[in-house]
Amino acid sequence: MNSSLEAMPDALLAEFQVLREEFSRFMFAYKFGMDEVTTKVSILQQEFKHLQRYNPIEHVASRLKTAESVLDKIARKQCEPRFEEIRAKITDIAGVRVTCSFTSDVYLISDALTRQDDLTVLQRKDYVAEPKPNGYRSLHLIVEVPVFLSSGVVDVPVEIQIRTVAMDFWASLEHKIFYKYSGDVPPHIARSLQEAATTAARLDDEMESLHHDVHGALPPVPVEMANGSIPIPDAVLARFAQQRVTFAPLI
Ligand code: 0O2
């Protein structure tokens, strides 16, 4: 047993255990919500890869806030420490980040996700169209996803950040620099970071334009036949074609 709990009276200890279980169940719902969204992105990724001529997703990452950082955020946001209140106010406990190839892909993925009936968009912040003053660019969605537990359904908010490789590169390094200076970045460094963000945005524009020149501005064209990770042998295909020719429904 944890030494700090050893001296606790039994009644308090029992209460503590109930709270631990409740907290743990609360956090698991976010993990499941995150898994649901990750699966949705993975399905899109596989569909694009195997069934279309184009894959807009470079990589996908997910993270669950630690219980400790949830408490830090509750304190920062002056949120009442009750689970329902936390669920309503802290919407980034579960996060999924999708890194795309081109800027247009950011919107392609956002549309493909938000069209799904079981996702409810609670918030959309387009820092790609309107970057933050420091230069940060990314599309943020807070979606609510139903998680079906043995006890019933719980709607879990998940933050989805969608950005290009260049936006991601800038954000990761800016995050490191920001933390190195504990948030107090000297003005010349902040200026350099803004300039770097402008350079990254220009790079995205150039790559987007090259992409259009090479592949056209139209959305990806589905190919007639997929031959991805579920191969369909020629012999099977020929047999199926034959069946279709000779098939006559009974009237
Ligand atoms: P972490 O550890 O990445 O989760 P919020 O505080 O989330 O309630 P806010 O700040 O209005 O409200 O939300 P916003 O603008 O949607 O930003 C949330 C997340 O986007 C941040 O989460 C970062 O991950 C990322 N982000 C936003 N602005 C910046 C920025 O200027 N630079 C970088 N590198 N990332 C940014 P957290 O909780 O801050 O951190």
Give domain limits for the chain: 8-165
Q: Active-site residue 130, yes or no? A: no
Which among 6, 130, 144, 159 is annotated as catalytic? 159
Helix (H) or strand (E) holding 155: strand 152-164
Quote the pLDDT of residue 1: 53
Edge to edge, the sheet with strand 94-100 lists 57-64, 94-100, 152-164, 139-149, 120-126
Burial class of residue 95, CB neighbours in 10 A (0-12, 13-18, 19+): buried
Give the CATH number of domain 8-165: 3.30.460.10
Report the alpha-carbon distance of residue 92 to residue 165 in Å, rounded: 22
3-state secondary structure at position 223? coil
Question: Which atom of ligand 1 lies closest to the CA of 123?
Answer: 16
How much is the pLDDT for 11?
Answer: 76
Q: Please state the pTM of the whole predicted model.
A: 0.87
CA 175 – ligand 1 centroid, Å:
10
pLDDT tens-place values along the chain, 251 residues long: 566 677 778 778 888 889 999 999 999 999 999 999 999 999 999 999 888 878 899 999 999 999 999 999 999 999 999 999 999 999 999 999 999 999 999 999 999 999 999 999 999 999 999 999 999 999 999 999 999 999 999 999 999 999 999 999 999 999 988 877 877 888 899 899 999 999 999 999 999 999 988 877 555 545 444 455 677 888 988 888 888 888 877 66
How high is the pLDDT of residue 225?
44
Measured from CB, residues less than 6 Å from any atom of ligand 1 are 92, 95, 125, 132, 134, 136, 140, 171, 174-175
CA–centroid distance, residue 132 to ligand 1 (Å): 11
Choose among 75, 99, 110, 96: nearest CA to 168.
99
CB burial of residue 230 (10 Å; 0-12, 13-18, 19+): exposed
Q: How far is the CA of 149 from the centre of ligand 1 (A)?
A: 29
Compute the half-sphere exposure of residue 20: CA atoms within 13 Å on the CB side of its CA: 7
DSSP one-letter code for 251 = -
